[in-house]
Amino acid sequence: MKKLYALVFPIVGIGLGLSAFAPKPKLSGSPYDRAYQALTLYSSDCDDLYPRAVIDGSYNRPLFPYPVETASGWWATPEREAGARSLWANAMIPYAESAAYLELPGAPDFVRPGQTVDPTKPTRKAGVTYNGFLQSLNTASVPHPELVPLYWTGFGVGNLVNNGAVNPSLDCHTIAIGECRYPFLPAPTTPAAAQTPSVRGITFSHFSTLQLGEGDTDFTQFLMTDGSLKRVRLGLKVLPGDSTTKGIHTLFAGGGGVALWTDARSFAWHFRPDRAEYDFGSGD
């Protein structure tokens, strides 16, 4: 039997007063459709690869919390701007109907804590979040695309101003950016084996003032890598007599934390590109 590991991450608190808003946003397929179509066109021009989710540099940091606005002036150096332009949310703009292709209609705006929005510069909003485990993989390398999320509301139902979020992401601190890909390797059987690969997973908390789900907080939507839209349970559900976890979270929305089931390398099970139905629950 496979071992399951639960990692708990603190909820990120902010004082922006967005804990309640009306009406509650109702997600439709259109933002996901736009994002999927843009990715399909992008991949066809880029050797059938999924776009990048981490930025160049000594840390190979995930896109979040870096701005994704493409107008000049949001980055400290030309090198940082060039790196940001190559990341998924920016790289797919030429293939999208508009630069607002990731925005969720009806969702509240969210400004990242510590970030200042300059009213004299163009801004962009993104509510759709990318599964960073897919970075730079060939689109044909996912064995069960109907099981692997491509997009979701990974930080809660809100439009991040001047940010394009990746959740979960790859931890590639010790290897070159060109080699930062998900390892299609068996789950380790010992703690020592878990440390062998240079690539590990990172899962970020959602923002506690944003609603996690759509309307009713028990569910959200995934746009799967095969292009299908799926309504997915957020919380834990265990079938009678079956230890298989069904929801993507074991704990969510309140109570002091958010937890996801992960493997020994911190890859969240529901987002692993090599996920198969027998590996973990469906999330239904």
- Determine how many CB atoms are found less than 10 A away from the CB of residue 229: 15
| Of the candidate ranges 166-175, 181-190, 200-209, the one whose mean pLDDT is the lowest | 181-190
Of the listed ranges 146-160, 162-176, 187-201, the one predicted with least confidence: 187-201
Inform me whether the pLDDT recorded for 41 exceeds 90: yes
Burial class (CB within 10 angstroms; exposed 0-12, middle 13-18, buried 19+) of 7 = middle
Q: Identify which has the larger pLDDT, 260 or 168.
A: 168
| The predicted structure's pLDDT at residue 215 | 57
pLDDT tens profile 187-224 = 556 665 555 567 888 888 777 778 777 655 567 889 99
| Spatial separation of the C-alpha atoms in residues 175 and 182, rounded to whole Å | 12
**pLDDT (average), residues 219-233:** 88
What value, to the nearest 5°, has the Cα angle with vertex 142 and ends 140 and 143?
105
Q: What share of the chain has pLDDT > 70, as a percent?
A: 65
The band of 95, judged by pLDDT with boundaries at 50, 70 and 90, is very high
Which of the two residues, 43 and 269, has the higher pLDDT score?
43
Q: What is the DSSP letter of 245?
A: B
Tell me which residue of 155, 61, 145 sits closest to 108, measured CA to CA: 155
Residues 67-86: tens digit of each pLDDT = 565 545 566 677 777 777 88
> pLDDT by residue (tens digit) across 237-252?
554 444 555 677 765 5
Which of 85, 162, 76 minimizes the C-alpha distance to 127?
162
- Which tokens sit at 252? 């969510």
For residue 82, the tally of other CB atoms under 10 A from its CB is 12
Instruction: Give alpha helix (H) positions in 98-207.
Output: 191-194
State residue 57's pLDDT score.
62
Report how far residue 225's alpha carbon sits from residue 227's, in angstroms, rounded to the nearest whole number.
5
Res 45: pLDDT = 96
- Residue 3: what pLDDT? 45
pLDDT at 68: 60
Domain spans of the chain? 1-16+26-284
Alpha helices in 103-151 (DSSP H): none
Q: How confident is the model at residue 140 (pLDDT cuts 50, 70, 90)?
A: very high
Going by the DSSP 8-state scheme, the letter that residue 258 receives in this structure is: E
Asked if pLDDT for residue 49 goes beyond 80, the answer is yes
The pLDDT value recorded for residue 8 is: 39
Mean residue pLDDT of the chain comes to 74
**pLDDT score recorded for residue 2:** 45
Burial environment of residue 209 by CB neighbours within 10 A (0 to 12, 13 to 18, 19 or more): buried
